[in-house]
Amino acid sequence: MNDDRNRSWPSQEPDAPRRARRPQEDPGPAWPADDAPRRPAPPRRPPAGGPRPPRAPRAEAGPEWPSGDEGGPQWPAADEPRRPQRPPQGRAPQGRPPQGPGPQDRGSATRASQILDGQGAPPRRQPPAGRPAPGGPNGNATQGFRQPPPSGRPPQRRPVPPPPSYPEPEREPDLITHAAHNGYAPYDDRYDDDRYDPYDEETRLAQYSDDADFEDDPEGEEDGKKKSKADLTPKQRRKRRWKIVRRVLYAMFGLFVVVPAIAFVITYFTVDVPSPQEVLAQQSQPITFYYGDKSVMGRSVPQGGNRELLQPNQVPEVVKHAVYSAEDATFETNSGFNVMAILRSVFNQATGGTGGGSTISQQYIKQATKNDEATLTRKWTELAKSFKLNNETSKSDIITGYLNIVFFGRRANGIAAASKAYFGKDVKQLNASEAALLAGMIQGPGKDRDTAYMQKRWNYVMDQMVANHWLSPADRKAAQFPTLIPRDSQQKEDAGTLDFHIQQRIMQELAAKGYDEDKLYSTGAKIYTTIDPNAQKLAVQSVQDNMEGQTDENLRGALVAVDPRTGGVLAYYGGPTTVKNDAGKDVLATDWANVPQNPGSSMKPFDLTAWLKMGKGLGETFDGTNNRQLGGRVVRNAGESASCGPVCTVKKAMEVSANTVFYDMVLNDVKPSRVAEAAKEAGVRPAPKGKGKLGTEDANIALGGGATSVTPEDMAASYSSFASGGVRRDQHFVAKLTNSQDEVIFDDTNGQGKPAFDDNADKSKQIAGNVTDALIPVIAESHLKCPSGHDCAGKTGTQQYTMRDDDPKSYSDRNSQTWMVGYTPSVSVASWIGGDGTKPLHDKNGKPIYGKTIAGPTWQDFMTNYLKDKPGEKFDKVEPIGKDADEVVTSSKAAPPPRETTSEQAPPPSTQSSSSAPPTSSSHPSSSTTSPTRPSGIFGGGTDGGNPGSGGGPVVNGEPPRRTG
């Protein structure tokens, strides 16, 4: 900024010195005319880092101008050279481009004299008024130096008088931008050196070095050398030492306080903290199974161990205090981490001691995230997450979440499971001594067999409870080490009476609905089944009682009961859970209730269903004689008692189980596909939805042989559609599913069904009622009894063993599967006694087994015991479909006209099955060779009733027939 507002810059001469002059003051020698000599350049400073040249002794008098024959004015040798001046703005330092003129160039000729006033240096001379400043109007020459004289004119030497001594004059006000040039700041003679670069980094930073305080101290130099550190005064050494200490403290504060604080804040806002509710949803909990009466059936514990999750209000205070004493006494007041505990942990680690510094919040984070890596990154983020957790979640939720997931040993996760595993009681029943033991096991859950360790930890926690005023000294003194229950007692209690085969069927059913095992464990599912505990007990007892004493090691048994009103499975027994293998070790046994087998004559009700759906009735007649040629094969009944003459009603054929009638019906009228459809409508589930198979390649499905196979469960469920009056309700094991907090996931308790055999419910009921009418007489025909006061209906079934070439002849009358399937309005039961596949079976007397032998009595025992003391029940009456069987007069004297066989239904000659053989060359029964019929038994239903001659197999070249009873 220009101080003289009336004069232009830089054409006019620089300002006069701002120092005010006293009156009568000699302004000093004037400038010579036009050719004032230049001041000599000061000696160059040595480069940074080099030896510093010794200073010349100070002169007593001012400098003299040199003689005319010298190159310029010289300072007297005895006089100390002036300090170098800052280069003017018009003249650039060495190595730097020149700068343009600026306001600071004004008055530069008087700066040195103003600064050196009072220091023995002569004042600067100002040029006379009207004379231009040295260096021309542009001010390119260094101000304050005289210009060399013109050529031919000798230079004049003019002595410079010493400056007068006078008090410091008052200074006129100055602009703040000129303060560094008007005497308010000390003058730096480095600016007089043309080599000095104020922007040089090394030069600029040299003033901040450790020795900067001593470089310019005259007392610090001796013989031209700077004092060493040893030559410093005590005061200087203390000053230097404290400077180092301060800098170290600043660095430590920044390194250990500022940087970690910034990093912690950044980490705090970047990490995610799982809430207790989110962690709760991820924990595996046991699946609890309940009977139909809501009593506990058993529990399935996940592989990681037992767990039971609690709510905050379910954790007793005594348990909390015990855990605080063992793990984190300051939990209620800290912010998620304890600085003193961390320092104590570091000290313990350094000195070889034990003890960690983690708070309960930190341990909860580690357990919830399942991350326990021994890395600084994990510990750092754990601190931030713990602090954030305490800012976002209540202490009550944190301690509850921690106690729900921490492992206590004995396969127990969480305090609730641990309470039962160690003491066999609920957590709310724990006292201080028991709570202290469980809290002490948190640090060493794997040492639950080490009594000494448990005693040590118990004493420690009890003492800490006293120290923290959570337990009185008197109670501590009176406390005794708690008594533990055996390790495996809780496992036995968890198993309860849960049948493994039932458990598997339940899990399969839920998986089909989208609730796999992992999801059930994660929610702590409560499964309310349809199993009646009394019915389940009777099912097991009925099979085992009737299998007792049997000598055939290939015999297997199963029984399934279904409630027709709901479709729920009331009882399910597929045999024992384990069996001995060849090495004598226990292995998992087969669930025979879920293995498909040939149903034999128990398939005939589905033949009848398909017949009724066509509008045909029970009064229709067929040729029920034995050994009929049908479809290119010979079909025969099980002896004369299984034959009902040439005019046999459908109802009578069902009663005596006449194979020829139903094979004829399916082959020529109904067709196999309609039988398969009727079976599926009733409830048989073929693959892929189930395990069964309904063979429609030939008419063997009519007699339940060949490729047709169903499970006992499917048979019980399908017959229940008849018992319910034509309403199908899919069999199921689960009535209701909830999570551990009793929130309902689904509820099928009502058991809504739909018409099974026709879209019209009345029509479906009529079909089912006609089937029931045909099956009622079978019970008495098979010499079975219904419970008193109850109507029963059902059908037996037998599948003959298929002979092999190397089998003895005694196997020719053996059977491989036997059935009895029957129902009342309230229960449908399928009883199966057979073998694994096709094997020749015999009873304890060495005789072939039939429906009467084991399966029938097993079914009867269950029905009698289950329905005992229950109200009596009757089937609903329905109108007959088609011809009424009661109005038809049958006679064995008049044979009906022969029925045409459908050749396309007969398989090719090479086709064989367990119930058929290649057709004979004859097409009429009279031309076939018939084997002698075996004597009839006490039942009139063929092999279904116990006679050995039942079956639908043909006679081929005099070979024994094959039969399906």
**Which positions are catalytic?**
327, 601
d(CA 520, CA 284): 8
Contact indicator for 770, 618 with CB cutoff of 8 Å: yes
Q: Beta partners for 799?
A: 817, 964
Helices (H) and strands (E) in the chain, counts: 26, 23
Measured between its terminal Cα atoms, the distance across the chain in Å is: 127
d(CA 768, CA 754): 13
The DSSP call for residue 441 is: T
Q: What is the DSSP string of 626-658?
A: SSEEETTEEE--SSGGG---SSEEHHHHHHHT-
Asked, as a colleague might, if the bond just before 688 is cis with ω within 30 of 0, I would say yes
Task: Extract the tokens encoding 660.
Answer: 């020829």
SS3 900: coil
Give the dihedral sign, CA 81/82/87/89: negative
Identity at 293, one-letter amino acid code = D
Residue with tokens 């739909």: 754
Residue with tokens 């023995």: 120
Task: Extract the tokens encoding 475.
Answer: 């109670």
Give the dihedral sign, CA 804/806/812/815: negative
The kind and range of the H/E element at 527 are: strand 526-529
Contact indicator for 689, 733 with CB cutoff of 8 Å: no
CA angle, 260 as apex, 257 and 262 as ends, to 5°?
105
User: Mind spelling out the 3-state secondary structure of 835-885?
Assistant: CCCCCCEECCCCCECCHHHHHHHHHHHHHHHHCCCCCCECCCCCCCCCCCH
SS3 265: helix
Residue with tokens 């060359």: 921
Contact indicator for 890, 647 with CB cutoff of 8 Å: yes
Task: Extract the tokens encoding 276.
Answer: 């207790």
Bridge-based pairing of strands 556-562 and 569-573 is antiparallel
CA angle, 848 as apex, 547 and 850 as ends, to 5°?
70
E-strand stretches of 552-632: 556-562, 569-573, 578-580, 586-588, 621-622, 628-630
In sequence order, what are the residues at sequence separation of 6 or more whose Cβ sits closer than 8 angstroms to the Cβ of residue 12? 137
d(CA 306, CA 286): 6
Rounded (to 5) percent helix, strand, coil in the chain = 35, 10, 50
- Name the nearest CA neighbour of 534 among 737, 358, 297, 728: 297
In sequence order, what are the residues at sequence separation of 6 or more whose Cβ sits closer than 8 angstroms to the Cβ of residue 95? 197
Half-sphere exposure of 524 (CA within 13 A, CB side): 19
d(CA 270, CA 278): 19
- Name the nearest CA neighbour of 953 among 577, 636, 712: 636
Task: Extract the tokens encoding 385.
Answer: 């997450």
Half-sphere exposure of 21 (CA within 13 A, CB side): 12
Task: Extract the tokens encoding 260.
Answer: 């970690």
Give the other-Cβ count within 10 Å of 238's Cβ.
11
d(CA 204, CA 201): 5
